[in-house]
Amino acid sequence: MKEDRKIIKLKIFQEKAVYRVPYSMEVIETYPLPPYSTVLGFIHNVMSKNNTIKDINISIQGKYGNVLREFVRYHKFEKKNNIGKFYPIIITSLINVELIIHVRMPTKELHNELLFLLHNPPHFPYLGRPEDLITHMEISEDYEHEVKITDEMAINPYDSFIPFELAKNLEIKGIYYLVPGYYVLKLSKKKNESFRDFEMIKVVYAHKEEISDQIADKTIKLDSENIPIWWMRY
């Protein structure tokens, strides 16, 4: 393993998960994979960091078994009358989620700290909402290497978030999404309180078949299991 390219690889399973699309209200929609902000939040929670760790790089891919839509009785509290009201909303959930997440920390010290805490988490790990528990997680160190793909190579792609420009260069097609990444705190002049202003990253959500069809003779990053790595910052 090359020390200067050491990364952390997570294989995660969740029985049920909601990766909420911003501004979906009466009908709560989910991204097909956790957005960068969700994974960054997971890393910060595991490390119990209140301050933002800059320059973390992540790659997100995976698959799910099914989609569930269910009605939930929701209670919205109203400050005016101190009572609130009930109304139904529809929540879209992913069932039997399998994820491959690669993480590259900005320093060796942070890499080692995260690796230790993943093996010894301070609380039961979740990804998405607090109820979206991670029921199984394999943690390993790995490395990345750039390879020109040939027909003889056995590549193991999953459905993936690929940064738009990278997907364009590789001619990989899919569904366009704007997904949140890092945020900065800003002050709202109206409410006189801070809010999170997220960086929105344009990605292509590509199915594994589309990836397999387009990467022949292309140079891409792979891990030791020949799983592609699609860095958020490539």
What does the pLDDT look like over 67-77, one tens digit per residue? 999 988 877 77
Query: What pLDDT sits at residue 84?
Result: 74
- By the 10 Å C-beta count (0-12 exposed, 13-18 middle, 19+ buried), 110 is classed as middle
Residues of the chain with pLDDT under 50: 1-3
User: Domain locations in the chain?
Assistant: 3-222
d(CA 54, CA 150): 36
Taking the complete model, does pTM exceed 0.85, yes or no?
yes
* Sign (positive or negative) of CA dihedral 47, 52, 56, 61: positive
Query: What pLDDT sits at residue 234?
Result: 84
Query: What pLDDT sits at residue 11?
Result: 98
Q: CB–CB of 162/230 below 8 Å? A: yes
Cα angle for residues 11, 33, 25 (degrees, 5° grid): 140
Cα angle for residues 151, 10, 148 (degrees, 5° grid): 20
d(CA 38, CA 139): 18
Query: What pLDDT sits at residue 45?
Result: 96
- CATH match of 3-222 with 3.40.50.300: no
Cα angle for residues 110, 222, 37 (degrees, 5° grid): 50
Query: What pLDDT sits at residue 196?
Result: 82
d(CA 112, CA 187): 35
**DSSP per-residue string spanning 42-89:** HHHHHTT-SS--TT-EEEEEEEEEEEEEEEEEEEE--TTTS--EEEEE
* Sign (positive or negative) of CA dihedral 182, 185, 188, 194: positive
